[in-house]
Structure 1
Amino acid sequence: MPSHPWQHRYTRNGPDYRFDSNVSFIDIKQQFGFSTIRLGRWVSIFEQQLAANLIFDALADLSFILNVPPSTLGLRQSLHLAFGCDGSVDAKAHYQPNKRTLALAKNAGGGALAHEFWHAFDHYITQHLYPHAREALASHAWLHHHQYASHPLNERLVTLFNHAMLGEDATQPSRYLQQAIALDKHHQSHYYSQPTELMARAFEAFVQDSEITNDFLVSGSHQSLLAKAGGYPQGDCRKQLNQNFYQYFTALGQALQAQKSIK
């Protein structure tokens, strides 16, 4: 069997969900509830198999970390998955809101799955958190809407946004947001302090701080140049946000399981 860089690039330490067997993209679609999965024409059969195993393990790890049923990750079958379809050598992983597609680049998508999943979730959850908002993303809508749909899960999510972006007195930016603003000033950009990017990096940190190690799912929130520059939550802020993420997604998982048992 030929060797491939992907076989040695991504470190993982987690449960053996596949029982050391290969899976297909059909398995991924069925297990995690995606609407469709699209593969690029330049992804070889051998690479398809390697990618399917990597993506399956990463999604299974994410489901385990979030304490939600695996099918939750497909966002009620509204989310599409694409692998190796962009066609650009420099293309990386990204989320396309207009197509509701989480796209992983063939050679540069590893390590970004958690970040891009948050963008997809941030987009999906807006209809439940701020049903009358014009903004497409819940974290952006948070800036402009003080009233959210009343629900215990929404209260947990708003608390998460508050802790990420506001200081203890709720009138000044959080230390994490201040660091992001400083990064934007340094790079002469308006990127790191955007609410959706701020929350995606916080989500990365939460996922990477779990007991499971999966470099294909997430990497960089500890030792990367961005991490060293203050691009991720640090110290007590990181601990608080990790707890908020855990509480929200655990409650979400319990609610989904309860719905399933009623049916």
Structure 2
Amino acid sequence: MQNQLSLFDENVRILENQEIRTHKQHNNNVAYDVGVKIGGARKDQAALRKSFEENRDLNILSLLEEVSPVEASLVVTRKELFKDFSLSIEKEKGTSPQAAKLKDLVIKRIQSNPSDSKESREEFVKAALNYQMLVENISTIDEFIEFIYEIRIKLTADCMSMFNVKGHLRVIKERLEKAPAPSALHRQYTKELKYYNAILDEGSIPDRVKLTALGPNFVKFFLSAKSANTSLRNIKRDIQSWDDLTIKSRKKGTKNQPLWERELPITPVITAGYAYKINKPTELMELFSFRGVEFGHYMDDHSGADHINNCASAFMDLSNVLNMNHNFSISLNGTLSMAFGSRGRGKALGHYEPIAKVINLTKNRGLLGVAAHEWFHALDNWIFDMSHNYKNGQIGFMTDLEKYGSYNLSNAVVYEFKELMKIITEGNSISEVPVMRMKRKPPITERVLARRAYNECDGDLLQTMHYIHDALSEHIDMAAYYGEQVEKVKAKNDRTLRKLASFVAELHESRTGKFVDTVPCPTNTSRYMQAALKLDKGNKGKYWSSNRELAARAFEAYLEDKLKEDSIVNDYLVYKTNNPIAFPEGDEREKINECFNNLFETLVKIHML
């Protein structure tokens, strides 16, 4: 490994050996906190955040933005700003069940959070508070229908220039003068004149709050007559009393067993790598330039010594096997902290906190093979933050391939991340689609396609679904040719394929008398992705199949393979990634490993690591 310490002189600062012992760590020789207090002035942030949550004051939000844009982004969300709304409270207020359901539906159409900027968050808060005030006293569905008209005027004023509104008014006035009265045409133009005059009045209000800040789905509900009318029709049909809104309690029973659990070593084995004897946490901090090192109050000196020694060996192995320019790269430019047994949650072996920039490994089970997984989460988040010059308020990860910035981020790095996630998620695999009872038959064109496919494939279900898949794929090529949104066509094809799987199963049963529970369907996803979807029970992106978790587990597999090439075993860093339920395997694993090679070679070449 090349020694390029000079490259880090300006970017990495070696922290002073500052002890920040808590009262309970007073007599510990090893397990005590050093470096910068992890989380910084968290109590100040917490006080401002609590004050804003209680008062919704924009001045307090502005102060919070200065202290921490991340904290500001956590309170400026739909969930937080509308947390006081509930159907039970509406019932107590005397709101009709239909009006209450409409209120709930519209809130769910508001975007979860605004875009990542101080200005966007301020506009979002203003709009949310204004909407709450306007809708507060509505208690019947008839009042809500009038309210839709009122909001439609406000949103139209947001979307249209007043110059265009005045132009519409001139044309309408001219047509109204020529229309005979009384007549249907005269009544129509009179109604339009009133509507556009109301828009003009609304647009003339100084410093008016723009409700468009609440997002496109919110806007669509009020501006699209079809959207609003469909919702009104469904609610009038389905909601007749408060009993229709009662949420049925889930049946009690035994908890579902997890579909996969990590296989853990009894005692972590470390061979042929780097063995360090660390006596104090300051030595670990200095070795990698960690921002701080923290221990839980229940961490004794013996366990603390195990952690800091194994951690030092693990991260030196990681640094060397990836050919990093310097072991300071492990701390990601001095921004990363380590915690041992101090910030645990649930049954997790470890976790990474993107707000505090800290990896926590639990006291006992944290010794067992998850350090690499959590470090990759830290790297993933660090590159995203760096792309925004660390001024972003939203928590983000580069592997999500969205909302990343361009500050100091090489196009080569972006390319390698995109290639990595493409190989991780895309491929040619088979999915077992469960057969569902069909409430209505597919359109006749789709039924004709399914029957033709079944007949030409002599009843072979997999070949039948391949035939249908290939036929639907032609729609994607056509969409690309005509410049349409390919992703929407792909999503529609996927829904159609799953729907036709049930139709083919019924057709198969009628022809052969054999009932099947599932139908094999070809997919455009990798086997690794399909396995993750099974762990998430088909909910794409929920946890196991989210980009950041797919990438972190794939990194574990890559790293273990790299260590094996050098005959290194480090169970503290990574352990047993040969399980196809949770990790890539075979040719997919080889391709993913090659992508990781390219990514880390690029990061090292441009001195990011």
Q: Which residue of 2 aligns with 1:35?
A: 291
- Higher helix proportion, which one? 2
Residue type of the partner of 1:166?
E
- The structure-2 alpha-carbon separation of the partners of 1:194 and 1:158, relative to structure 1 and needing over 3 Å to count, comes to same
**Whole-Å Cα distance in 1 between the matches of residues 309 and 552 of structure 2?**
24
CA shift for structure 1 position 119: 0.9
TM-aligned CA distance change 1:56 to 1:150, over 3 Å: closer
1:134 to partner: Cα distance? 5.1
Contact 2:338–2:359 (Cα < 8 Å) also in 1: yes
Counterpart among 564, 567, 574 of residue 218 in structure 1? 574
Deviations 1:65-120 (CA, angstroms, capped at 9, x unpaired): 22112111111111111001136784520011121110010011121101111111
Return the match for 1:122 from 380, 384, 388.
380
**Residue 175 (structure 1) shift:** 2.5
Give structure 1 stretches of 5+ with no counterpart. Answer: 1-7
Indicate the residue corresponding to 1:201 in structure 2. Answer: 553
Cα distance between partner residues in 1 of 2:547 and 2:535: 14
Matched, 1:161 2:417: no
CA 1:14–1:163: 2 relative to 1, 3 Å: same
Q: Distance in 2 between matches of 1:104 and 1:87?
A: 7
Question: What is the Cα deviation at residue 15 of structure 1?
Answer: 2.8
Matches within 5 A, 1:1-263: 9-18=267-276, 21-68=277-324, 69-86=326-343, 90-109=347-366, 110-128=368-386, 136-140=396-400, 142=401, 150-167=410-427, 172-185=524-537, 190-210=542-562, 211=564, 212-222=568-578, 227-229=579-581, 231-256=582-607
The Cα offsets for residues 6-59 of structure 1, whole Å up to 9 and x where unpaired, read as: xx70112223353xx444322221121211111112222222222211110011
Instruction: Give the TM-score normalised by structure 1.
Output: 0.80
Opposite residue 572 of structure 2, the aligned amino acid is F
Tell me, in whole angstroms, the C-alpha distance in 1 between the residues paired with 2:540 and 2:551: 20
Do the aligned residues in 1 keep the contact of 2:533 with 2:540 (CA within 8 Å)? no
Q: What secondary structure sits across from 2:365 in the alignment?
A: coil
Supply the AA of the counterpart residue of 2:361: L
Which has the larger Rg?
Answer: 2
Output the CA distance in 2 between the equivalents of 1:128 and 1:254. Answer: 17
| Closer/same/farther in 2, CA of residues 87 and 160 from structure 1, 3 Å limit | closer
Would you say the 8 A contact 1:31–1:71 is kept in 2? yes
Residues 139-161 of structure 1: CA deviation (Å, up to 9, x unaligned): 22x1677x995522332222112
In structure 1, the residue matched to 2:444 is none
Query: What runs of 5+ residues in structure 2 fail to find an aligned partner?
Result: 1-265, 429-472, 474-486, 491-523
Per the TM alignment, residue 167 of structure 1 is displaced from its structure 2 partner at its CA by 2.6
- Cα gap change, 1:154 to 1:17, in 2 (>3 Å): farther
AA at the equivalent of 1:72: S
- Deviation of residue 166 (structure 1)? 2.1
Taking a change above 3 Å as real, the CA distance of residues 133 and 41 of structure 1, as seen in their structure-2 partners, is closer
Q: Percent identity?
A: 28
In 2, the alpha carbon distance for the partners of 1:199 and 1:250 equals 17
Q: TM-score, normalised by structure 2?
A: 0.37
**Comparing 242-251 and 130-139, the one that deviates more:** 130-139
Would you say the 8 A contact 1:122–1:138 is kept in 2? yes
Segment drifting more, 23-32 vs 238-247: 23-32
- Matches of 2:576 and 2:539, distance apart in 1: 19
Instruction: Point out which structure has higher relative CO (alpha carbons under 8 A, 6+ apart).
Output: 1
- The one-letter code sitting in structure 1 at the alignment partner of 2:534 is A
How big is the shift at 1:182?
Answer: 2.1
Inter-partner Cα distance in structure 1 for 2:393 and 2:402: 11
Distance 1:192 1:112 in 2: 15
Alpha-carbon distance between aligned partners in 1 of 2:346 and 2:279, rounded to the nearest angstrom: 27
